[in-house]
Amino acid sequence: MKHMLKINRCMSQAQREHADDADMSGISVKATVELMSREVGGRQNFGFMDKDYRNYIHRKRRTKMKKGDAGAILQYHQKMSVDNPSYFYSMQLDEDDMITNIFWADERAISDYGLFGDVLCFDTTYRTNDYGRPFAPFVGVNHHKQTVIFGTALLYDETIESFKWLFETFLEAMSGKQPKTILTDQSAAMASAISVVFPQTHHRLCVWHIYQNAAKQLSQVFHGSQQFAHDFGKCVYDYEEEDDWLLAWNEMLENHNLMDNKWLKKLFDVKEKWALVYGRHTFTADMMSTQRSESMNSTLKKYLKPSHDLLRFFEHYERVLVDRRYEELIADFKMMQTSPVLYGNVEMLQHAEEVYTPKNFKLFQQQYTSIGDYVANKVSKSDMKYEYKVSYRDIAREHLVKFDALVQTITCSCMKFSFVGILCRHALKVLDKKNVRRIPSSYILNRWSKEAKARSIINYQAAKTSANPKESIGKRYSHLCRNYREIASVAAEHEELTKYAHEHSIELLKNLEEKKKKLLKENTCGKENTSEGHDDVLGEMSKACGVKRKAVVGRPRGSGGYGRFKGILEGKKNIVRAKSYASTSPIREAQAKRQISFQKIEDEVPTLPPSAQVDSSTQLSACDPEMPFQDKLSFTQLLDTVITPDDFS
């Protein structure tokens, strides 16, 4: 029992560092103590007791929280900025100097956005602990078809003003580069902010949310007619011409007596944002829903606990980023060490295997191996330009393919390449017929290729003039750091490259000094006043006296602390438990009544019959006649399928 005496109990520095690492890795106190005791042959050889370890962890956390949430958060981001000059963060304060909105992105996130930021998924359904703040990650997809994170925000609310601030801050962090497409839910505030801040971006609505709202608003129609789910699904996924779509939409309304339905009228007003017929020309990186954001919400629950304060939220969120990026490293390794199986000794497939990552090669091969079931009939020829109508066996539906043999360009009426970035089977059929054995270079998107992350220099876009001179210098410095880090990385690989880079860096420095002297003489670029500069920015943030909390009555719906808000079709609450909970106090009774009231709303939406058929296939095959629309998954299966995380990849 000697090890239990206070005089014999002491944690060594090595044990404290071990404890710190375990705590930052999310390992529980109990598991850490058991592991450390096994390492020394039992707790009697530990040097301290379990409660000593717990006290150490609690003291460390209390020390951090002495600064308050605002001070701790500011210190965290400042430390990240010191460790990483390209780290970007921004906070918004209200009139009471309370932190309302926070955005941050590290160097890797900014770099990934430069490569894969053509399509954004943005979702705010996840909520933090007692603060009840919307967690708003900007995510996309990389060349391995894995979810990649471009930046993250914690918002106070979901108003137009908050979204405008967030999107403007995001653009500032990304040097003003706007995405081609952004996928969101049907938030009016979000849509208003996007139209102002991202005027060049195509705003698409998440198909899963469209179906979820349809189930809520049209539940009786879905139950009353199996055909309605089929017709509605075709309006979402099918049709290549607008006139055909409009005809089908009007027929659906007439056949199901929905001409005066207000919800469908509102949905029709934004048809350009959800119907595929209006989005075929828009690149979406093979996404029609925010399922990547949804799957990330599920992943966060493995790392974050309701007991975490905001500072620990930031610290443990780092683990999410590290693990996600390690998955990409694993995919890179597998890509270099293994080769996918080719279905035949075909030059086109061999070329595709050389240029595409395994995931994208698989998609390409699926398209190519099906061309044997298609027939291509030439309908016109002019010089070196050909037009073919491609159909599946004896099915009447045809796709018009135009091929210019001189410049090696090809287009298909299904426009799959435009919104997915992979040639469709109709175009591949014509290329095969014209003896084209390799993929034309203009139809190999770099973002899907093995060279997608090959070293490159990020283009510089002059930022708007800042009222803070030092802030402008800092942004330019961060941009140059990213580019010169790539140069240094290449140069360090060989002695000759290092000497070459060193010699040219000396020459470049001399040229810059001469250029600077000329600018000083011309009085166009004097030494900028940096005496206040960034200190003023930090001073503004350092005035923050706390983190603004939302006034939440009762427990946030769909959350046990951290969690996402659940939709109308995602489970039902236990009313009996709510009534029992309400019996303890008038306040809790009022909260329970609200909970029961919501339950009644859910109960009004009956479960859709499994027989209600709808097309749940991805947009990759939505235009293919060999996959009859009515033979796809049921409506409820579609809802489950759309949001099922594909192991976060």
Asked if pLDDT for residue 614 goes beyond 50, the answer is no
**Among candidate residues 108, 62, 117, the one with its CA nearest the CA of residue 87:** 108
What is 3-30 written as a DSSP string? Answer: GGSGGG----HHHHHHHHHHHHTT--HH
pLDDT of residue 289: 80
Cα–Cα distance for residue pair 286/293, rounded to 1 Å:
15
DSSP class of residue 273 equals: G
What mean pLDDT is predicted for residues 418-436? Answer: 96
**Tens digits of residue pLDDT in 8-51:** 566 666 766 766 666 666 566 667 766 666 666 665 556 566 66
Asked if pLDDT for residue 608 goes beyond 50, the answer is no
pLDDT of residue 531: 41
CA dihedral 494, 496, 497, 499 (to 10 degrees): 120
What mean pLDDT is predicted for residues 550-566? Answer: 48
pLDDT of residue 475: 65
DSSP class of residue 134 equals: E
* Confidence category of residue 77, pLDDT binned at 50, 70, 90: confident
Asked if pLDDT for residue 392 goes beyond 80, the answer is yes
Strand partners, 147: 141
Cα–Cα distance for residue pair 621/238, rounded to 1 Å:
10
pLDDT of residue 223: 86
Query: Would you tell me how many other CB atoms lie within 10 Å of the CB of residue 550?
Result: 15
Angle 73-78-82 from CA coordinates, rounded to 5°: 150
What mean pLDDT is predicted for residues 239-265? Answer: 94
Q: Which amino acid is at 3?
A: H
Strands 134-141 and 119-122: antiparallel
Highest mean pLDDT of the ranges 20-34, 440-454, 459-473? 440-454
Strand partners, 420: none
Asked if pLDDT for residue 405 goes beyond 70, the answer is yes
Dihedrals φ, ψ of 390, to 5°?
A: -110, 130
Asked if pLDDT for residue 425 goes beyond 90, the answer is yes
Cα–Cα distance for residue pair 511/310, rounded to 1 Å:
47
Kindly give the residue spans of alpha helices, DSSP state H, lying in 356-450.
358-368, 416-420, 425-433
**Tens digits of residue pLDDT in 171-185:** 999 989 999 999 998
Contacts of 519 (CB under 8 A, 6+ apart): 525
Asked if pLDDT for residue 190 goes beyond 80, the answer is yes
pLDDT of residue 282: 92
What mean pLDDT is predicted for residues 600-611? Answer: 40
What mean pLDDT is predicted for residues 375-385? Answer: 92
pLDDT of residue 4: 57
Is the backbone of residue 321 left (phi > 0), alpha (psi -120 to 50) or beta?
A: alpha
Asked if pLDDT for residue 87 goes beyond 80, the answer is yes
Q: What percentage of the chain has pLDDT greater than the value 70?
A: 63
Tokens of 64: 């951090």
pTM given for the model: 0.69
Tokens of 606: 């009956």
Tokens of 604: 């009004």
Cα–Cα distance for residue pair 624/390, rounded to 1 Å:
11
Least confident stretch, 98-107, 188-197, 601-610: 601-610
Asked if pLDDT for residue 470 goes beyond 60, the answer is no
pLDDT of residue 637: 43
Q: What percentage of the chain has pLDDT greater than the value 90?
A: 39
pLDDT of residue 584: 43
Q: Helix 242-255 vs helix 226-237: angle between axes, to the nearest 10 degrees?
A: 160
**Tens digits of residue pLDDT in 477-536:** 766 776 777 788 778 878 888 999 988 989 898 888 888 888 888 765 444 444 444 444
pLDDT of residue 238: 87
What mean pLDDT is predicted for residues 404-418? Answer: 95
Cα–Cα distance for residue pair 500/106, rounded to 1 Å:
30
Q: Which amino acid is at 175?
A: S
pLDDT of residue 258: 93
Query: Would you tell me how many other CB atoms lie within 10 Å of the CB of residue 250?
Result: 12
pLDDT of residue 388: 96
What mean pLDDT is predicted for residues 277-303? Answer: 80
CATH 3.30.420.10 correct for 68-206+289-341+542-551: yes
Least confident stretch, 266-275, 368-377, 422-431, 626-635: 626-635
**Tens digits of residue pLDDT in 202-243:** 999 998 889 888 988 998 898 888 899 999 999 998 899 999
What mean pLDDT value characterizes the chain? Answer: 76
Neighbouring C-alpha atoms within 13 Å toward the C-beta of 399: 30
Q: Which is higher by pLDDT, 318 or 27? A: 318
Q: Which amino acid is at 140?
A: G
Sign of CA dihedral 548, 554, 559, 564: negative
What mean pLDDT is predicted for residues 113-140? Answer: 82
